[in-house]
Amino acid sequence: MDDLSGKRAIVTGGASGIGRATAGLFARQGAAVCIADIRADLGQEVVDEIAAEGGRALFVPCDVTRAEDCQEVVGRAGQQFGGLDILFNSAGVIHRASVVDTSEDEWDRVMAVNVKSIFLFGKYAVPLMVESGGGAIINVSSGWGLVGGRKAVAYCASKGAVVLLTKAMALDHGSQNIRVNCICPGDTDTPLLKEEAQQLGQDLEGFFAEAADRPLKRIGQPEDIAQAALYLASDASAFVTGTTLVVDGGGLAG
């Protein structure tokens, strides 16, 4: 049920972290994958890794906050692969600060990368999915899209927006055979988590130990989130849309 053979996918933020793990997993399950990221060197590295394993991949450099870049990614993927079945929106940034200590530019950047990018990719991907007979869109939110967190007002606001944007898109496009779902990861071992520790001025080892204080007693690995994305992209979740899947080792359980 989780076989993606013949499927065509776009993964934003696919050069590192959760996006990179998901791009690789989608390719191993048979999908052709277009990787969109601002980091051209790392993006091409992922393409080379997928090709070395016999997969099919394309890299398109992209600033996910720019409409013309997002449109170019969707156009290139459609042209190269002949359609589009899966969109995984994993590009994201974090800024750790209170409302008083967050500048307007910092607020705008977080909202642009974490929310506007999903709007833009949806705007251009949905028509191509309709032409392809339907598809699956998976948006990455966060546990802090469901509960608040200290010193992270822009991030929490953006991830909360992703949860309801997902539900609204699911309502609009279900009749077009497009499912739209959301993953809320807990703390996951990615460059973003390391950057978060740096922003807070905390020792990395101590920060990770604190993040692992949850029922499963560890932080997530990118592959943990990739497996959830695979489920939502595949026919195993054929009757699932408009939902929020928490993948956090039990962090929000109590």
Element (H, E) at 129: helix 117-131
In angstroms, rounded to a whole number, what is the distance separating the alpha carbons of residues 12 and 93? 12
- Taking only Cα atoms into account, the Rg of the chain, rounded to an integer number of angstroms, comes to 17
Does residue 155 carry a catalytic annotation? yes
Q: How wide is the angle at C-alpha 87 spanned by C-alphas 66 and 34, nearest 5°? A: 75
Whole-number Å distance between alpha carbons of 112 and 158:
9
Say which of 155, 162, 180, 226 is annotated catalytic.
Answer: 155
Q: What's CA 12's distance to the chain center, in Å? A: 7
Cα–Cα dist 52/231, whole Å: 25
DSSP annotation string for 11-52: EETTTSHHHHHHHHHHHHTT-EEEEEES-HHHHHHHHHHHHH
Separation between Cα atoms, residue 66 and residue 94, nearest integer Å:
18
Taking alpha carbons only, the member of 234, 232, 35 closest to residue 140 is 232
Asked if residues 7 and 32 have their Cβ atoms less than 8 Å apart, the reply is yes
- CA separation for the pair 112, 70 (Å, rounded): 13
- Contact status, residue 125 vs residue 72, Cβ threshold 8 Å: no
Catalytic residue numbers read 155
